[in-house]
Amino acid sequence: MCGFAGKYSPGATVSAQAQQLLLSAMLSPISHRGPDETGYYCDEQVALAHCRLSIVDPAHGQQPMVDPSSQVVLVYNGEVFNHPELRQTLTRLGHQFTTHCDTEVVLRAYLEYGQSFVQHLNGQFAIVIWDPREQQLLLVRDRVGICPLFYSDTRDGILFGSEVKAIIPAMMDSPRLNLAVLDEIFTCWTPLGSETVFANIQTVQPGEMICLSHGRRQHWKYWSFDYSPQKNAMSETEWAASLHEELTDAVRIRLRSDVPVGAYLSGGLDSSIITTLINRLSPERLNTYSLGFSDPDVDERCYQRMLIESLNVSHTECHVTEEDICDAFAESVWHAETPMLRAAPVPMGLLSAKVNAAGFKVVLTGEGADEVFGGYDLFKETKIRQFWSRQPQSESRPLLLKKLYQYLQLPAQGQAEYLRAFFNVMLDQPDHVLYSHMPRWTTTAKAKQFYSDDLNAALQTSALSRAEKILSSGSSMSSFQRAQYIESTLLMPGYLLSTQGDRMLSMHSVEGRFPFLDHRVIELASRLPDALKMKVLNEKYLLKKAFASQLPPAIAQRSKQPYRAPDARLLKVLVERDDIREGLSESRIRAKGLFSAHKVQRLMRKARSKPLNTSESQALIGIISTQILTESFGLTTL
């Protein structure tokens, strides 16, 4: 995990001194991504800056890296985990190496294979390559969107960087809020396409390569999720053995590092599998890290302790209070560079601070398993709603959702009516591409009642209509696959791996590695029949079958509990803070013009007196984080 920034300006004439000053201004706001060393490269057309978190071959591999023969230059954030094998292949083809780092392997892979080099990489990466021979600039992002890469068009070229805050210092105009993307976040939790909440700043999409050459720009989608189940390819036992082999190897190659590697341990199935595999593969005693909360509804420490005792790992617990989350909230928004509708990312940042304080730079985590193998309650919920849609007047069928969400505090009378009111969304369109997510997105979108009249007037199209258009390629999939597709292509790169992932790790100079997102594991899972991902309502069925014998039974048989922060409790604390009260004062709300001042004040009063419901909680956290974002980045709003 590193950071970089740069500018491509063909035809422009800028002095080397001016380029250096510009690069320093761009790199400074993202120095947390790479505190170990910095490097710069400038020529007549390209200026590149890099800050490094040294993990592989720390003594060498400085960036930007230039090939002395071709003068091709590269900056790179991330890791290529198959670099030893790729190095051997390239050596046989005649390449000579001067370092042991993966950066040189990536550079030489490009020299050998051209633009198809990316197909040879197994890893997580954001890469920029300048090839003066072809007068060609490449921007490349890994298959699933683990490493971020942003860009912005200028009058004479393009700016790019690992975070938005690296681009803003080089922009000619003051940054503006993208109102359409704000509306997308207040509906779907995440931007829906390449645009960001910062107007005129876009993201390279997961699995995408952008080529700029001779005034032309080409976008190449070199990888995408492909659900092609093979029903009779193998028996359950054979599938499980194949999965065990692939995931074990994904963990093995992600332990490649010249610095110590730790692991996050949540107490759930996914992190328990990863931790168990590391413990088996690594000769060193494993260091694990976990979150603990005072709120028993979100605390998982009893399950964490089961595995800690079973594996005899060296464990560090990060106990997080509501006050801790409030103290770190504004800084977390600055690092996330987006409004947040939940506080869940903030404790993840506090956990990475613990990792950094312990002297660790790398952790393996279980992210991605729920998307790849169908673990979320949403997948079960979709299956029940499909069943319900066949008899929409049934009294008994919606009650199946009560078994799914046993923690819901339902009224003693009229439970079917209550569940119908919440989940009876688009029930008459069970084949609609958005069907699986509509109950949640409808709930989230209730936050729009707090929009100002001016914001409502400025919004020209519906976020849901844009979502339907963007996700239309999923219309031919099964209902289960469509739900997976939405989670994997929207929410995973836009929220889980970004706001809650990369940003909360990088703020404390920690790199996360995700074995479940090895493309070989994903491609195997995409070939699985739906019934092997979820058998009746038993989620991640094959994953459990493959690893149950290696885990404590209570963990192997445990139902999915999503990671959550104690939002209901912390809001009561958050709204009493002086900085938040000032930030949400009527004058400050009116100055930005995005929300209705009197409605926000009414919501604040309610939060002080009693717990908010889910939609109100999301609305208030979203409003607070939006105000913080627009003020900290000086965004022009309306």
pLDDT in tens, 279-327: 999 999 999 999 999 888 899 999 999 999 999 999 999 999 999 999 9
Radius of gyration of the chain from Cα atoms?
24
Question: Residues of the chain with pLDDT > 90: what percent?
Answer: 86
For residue 44, the model assigns a pLDDT of 86
Assess whether pLDDT exceeds 90 at residue 515.
yes
Q: Which residues lie closer than 8 Å to 433 by C-beta, 6 or more apart?
A: 468, 471, 472, 474, 475, 482
SS3 374: coil
Residue 409's pLDDT band (boundaries 50, 70, 90)? low
Where is the domain boundary, 140, 173, 206? 173
Q: Which pLDDT tens digit goes with each residue over 540-598?
A: 999 999 999 999 999 998 888 889 999 888 999 999 999 999 999 999 999 999 999 99
Q: Would the pLDDT of 530 be above 90? A: yes
Q: Are 132 and 71 in contact (CB under 8 A)?
A: yes
C-alpha pair distances (Å), 439 with each of 420, 422, 468: 11, 7, 15
pLDDT tens string 373-394 = 999 999 999 999 999 999 988 8
pLDDT grade for 469, boundaries at 50, 70 and 90: very high
Does residue 102 have a known ligand-binding role? Answer: yes
Mean pLDDT of 93-118: 97
Rounded CA separation 295/274 (Å): 26
- Start-to-end Cα distance in the chain: 36
**φ and ψ at 537, to 5 degrees?**
-120, 25
Residue at a domain's end among 151, 173, 195: 173
Which of 2, 42, 147, 211 is flagged as catalytic?
A: 2
| Mean pLDDT to the nearest integer, 621-629 | 98
- Count how many domains the chain has: 2
Q: Note the pLDDT of residue 12.
A: 72
Indicate the burial class of 583 (C-beta count within 10 angstroms; 0-12, 13-18, 19 or more).
Answer: middle
As a whole number, mean pLDDT of residues 595-605 equals 96
Give the end of a domain, one of 150, 173, 196. 173
Mean pLDDT of the chain: 94
Domain of residue 67 covers: 3-173
pLDDT of residue 463: 95
What is the secondary structure of 623-634 as a DSSP string?
HHHHHHHHHHTT
Given pLDDT bands bounded at 50, 70 and 90, which one contains residue 408? low
Q: Does the pLDDT value for residue 407 go beyond 60?
A: no
User: Do 623 and 584 meet the contact criterion of CB atoms below 8 Å apart?
Assistant: yes
Average pLDDT of the segment spanning 193-216? 96
Q: What confidence category does residue 146 fall into, taking pLDDT thresholds of 50, 70 and 90?
A: very high
The pLDDT confidence band at residue 19, using thresholds 50, 70 and 90, is confident
Percent share of the chain, pLDDT over 70: 98
Q: What is the pTM of this model?
A: 0.96
Contact between 505 and 351 (Cβ < 8 Å): no
Q: Does residue 479 lie within any of the structural domains?
A: no
* Residue 587, in any domain of the structure: yes
Would you state the pLDDT for residue 274? Answer: 97
**Mean pLDDT for the stretch of residues 14-37:** 91
Residue range 144-168: mean pLDDT, rounded:
96
> How is the beta sheet containing 216-221 ordered, strand by strand?
65-66, 73-80, 123-131, 136-141, 208-213, 216-221
Does 454 map to a domain? no
**What's the helix, strand, coil split of the chain in %, to 5?**
50, 15, 35
Domain presence at residue 135: yes
- Specify if 119 maps to a domain: yes
Rounded CA gap, 610 and 165, in Å? 37
What integer is the mean pLDDT of 104-113?
A: 98
2 catalytic residue (yes or no) = yes
CATH code (residue 101): 3.60.20.10
Residue 102 in any domain: the answer is yes
Per the model's pLDDT, the better-predicted residue between 175 and 398 turns out to be 175
Residue 474 lies in a domain: no
* Model pLDDT, residue 415: 66
Residue 215, pLDDT score = 87
Per-residue pLDDT, averaged over 235-264, amounts to: 97
User: Could you read off the pLDDT of 162-188 as tens digits, one per residue?
Assistant: 999 999 999 988 999 999 999 999 999
- pLDDT at residue number 11: 76
> What pLDDT does 132 receive?
96
* 506-523 average pLDDT score: 98
99 in a structural domain:
yes
Q: In the predicted model, what is the mean pLDDT of residues 56-74?
A: 96
Which pLDDT tens digit goes with each residue over 421-464? 788 899 999 999 999 999 999 999 999 999 999 999 999 889 99
Q: What CA–CA distance (Å, rounded) separates 317 from 152? A: 40
Taking residues 259-287, report their average pLDDT.
95
